[in-house]
Structure 1
Amino acid sequence: MNQRFKVWSRLMATILVSSFVIQSKVLAEDFEYPELNVTPLASERLKMEALRENSSSEMWMDHVPVFIPATLNLIAAIKLNSQKSDFSAKEQKDAEDTTRVAFGVSAFWIGYSSYLAMTYRPFSDATTYISRMEGNSKKAHLIRERLAEERIKESARFGRMLSWISSGTLLASSLAVASKAKTDAEAIAIVSAVSALSPLIFRYRWEKVEDYHSEYKKRIYGPVVTSGLYGKKIEGETHWAPQLLVSYQF
């Protein structure tokens, strides 16, 4: 009876170990190229976002966090310019310099944001470029997905750069106007300074897409459930028992 138990124990151990090895090999193959296992794929995400870029209203809405402080800063600068007659000669010179800078900063961001809203279509361009690549092999598929991820990351970096630069320049310009202006112009400039932080809070769609894709990619790795064996010596003999191993890897 004891001999039969040992035979069955060894047989079960062999089956479990074999299962563990095979499963580990499958998991390793799956995780070797996470770009091919994420859902949706980077190329699919580009196609979805390219459809969104066909909507002009969506594109303009992406730039509202920049339009608002830029417009308010421009209005405050115009108000400041109309108050110059109430200042001394030196104050007038300072107000003129501040007004010129505010005009320039506001006009630049209104103009550049309008240009981006009308012409900048990173996901559509990337989709067109990647769709021209031929090949149905795993290597060709991997190349397309990696290039798609590169385009997603490039767009996100561009969005972050715009957010920080626009926020910083508009904030500095608004505070400068507020320091020189009076009454209503000062109030508008203060509101403009506060709203200048909007690009950092309400981020561009390009940044959000990268976050979504990175989050989905992380989910490939966890949780990972594998089988194993647990052995314990009791009175000189090793007793084996099956077990499940759950691990999170990021």
Structure 2
Amino acid sequence: MVIKIRYFNIALICLVMLLTKSYAKDELTYPELEVVPLASERLKMEEKKEGLAFYRELQISAAATLLAGIYQIGHYENVNTETSSDPLAPSPDDGWDEKLAENQASPLVGMAVGGGWLAATFLLNKFFTPYSDGLAAIAPYADGEKKGMSRRQILLRERLAEESINRASSFSTRLVWTSVITNAAANIYMASHAREGTAAALIDATAAILAFTPLLFPTRWSIVAGEHQNYKKRIYAPISSSATLLNDGQGGLVPGIMLAFSF
């Protein structure tokens, strides 16, 4: 009799584990379908916001570089202290003016980099629309629930939507680092060709600091991708632990299901 009960317990344990795995397979393996909002819904919300505001941080650093270059050109045009209104203008007696031709060319680098980035943001705003493109890609699967599409098709829609969200975030990361490196390098180059202690050198240093602005303020693309991943992680957050074998209080194990929740 004891042997039969033991076999029965083993069979029951196996059944419970199989049922648990089956439930997990059907209900818990597709967080893309459980997250709120769905990736496709997030695309619709963000598509309405796409615009130049997404490039604000990049434009700040680019404008600072451009203005630093413009100021430095005017600074060199008044390099003669007799006609310059800048009390910190370079003195013709300190030898600095011997490299004047080379130094006068350095602001062109800043103007090219700063102006180039400003132009790039306007072009990207017009042609780089990842959320609009993402919606177009999943258009054949739109309203799949109402159209009676299969679970597989709806899952495909959400994964394609997630790819669009993640692709935009990945691109923005590369864009930010490229902006920081090029703007900082341009301003450092201009500062190295400006006379120490002049207003031009101070402005170059300030612009170099502003070049790191995009790192301090995450882009909207990276924020959206990060929030979506956090929402997916929270789907199972209330379940802190689970088990299919329980302690009977006498040192033995009995079949059962335990879920511990934390809110």
TM-score (normalizing by structure 2): 0.76
Contact kept, 8 Å, 1:17 with 1:229, in 2: the verdict is no
Residue equivalent to 1:158 = 171
Taking the aligned partners of 1:68 and 1:212, their CA distance within structure 2 comes to 25
* CA spacing shift, 1:11–1:123, aligned 2, 3 Å: same
- Bigger drift between 81-90 and 173-182 goes to 81-90
Taking the aligned partners of 1:133 and 1:206, their CA distance within structure 2 comes to 23
- 1 or 2, which has the higher helix percentage? 1
Taking the aligned partners of 2:68 and 2:33, their CA distance within structure 1 comes to 52
State which of 185, 190, 204 in structure 2 corresponds to 1:172: 185
Q: Map of 1:28-67 to 2, 5 A cutoff?
A: 28-53=25-50, 59-67=51-59
Q: In the TM superposition, what is the alpha-carbon distance from 1:195 to its structure 2 partner?
A: 1.0
Calculate percent identity across the aligned residue pairs. Answer: 30
Q: Which amino acid aligns with 1:171?
A: A
TM-score (normalizing by structure 1): 0.79
Taking the aligned partners of 1:13 and 1:96, their CA distance within structure 2 comes to 86
Number of equivalent positions: 236
Q: In the TM superposition, what is the alpha-carbon distance from 1:217 to its structure 2 partner?
A: 1.5
Q: Map of 1:1-250 to 2, 5 A cutoff?
A: 21-53=18-50, 59-84=51-76, 85-86=79-80, 88=96, 90-133=98-141, 136-182=149-195, 183-224=198-239, 225-226=241-242, 228-231=244-247, 234=250, 238=252, 240=254, 244-246=258-260
Q: CA RMSD in A?
A: 3.3
Taking the aligned partners of 1:239 and 1:42, their CA distance within structure 2 comes to 43
Q: Where does structure 1 differ by over 6 angstroms across 4 or more consecutive aligned residues?
A: 10-17
Taking the aligned partners of 1:24 and 1:132, their CA distance within structure 2 comes to 33
Residue equivalent to 2:86 = none
Consecutive unaligned residues in structure 1, runs of 5 or more? 54-58
Consecutive unaligned residues in structure 2, runs of 5 or more? 81-89, 91-95
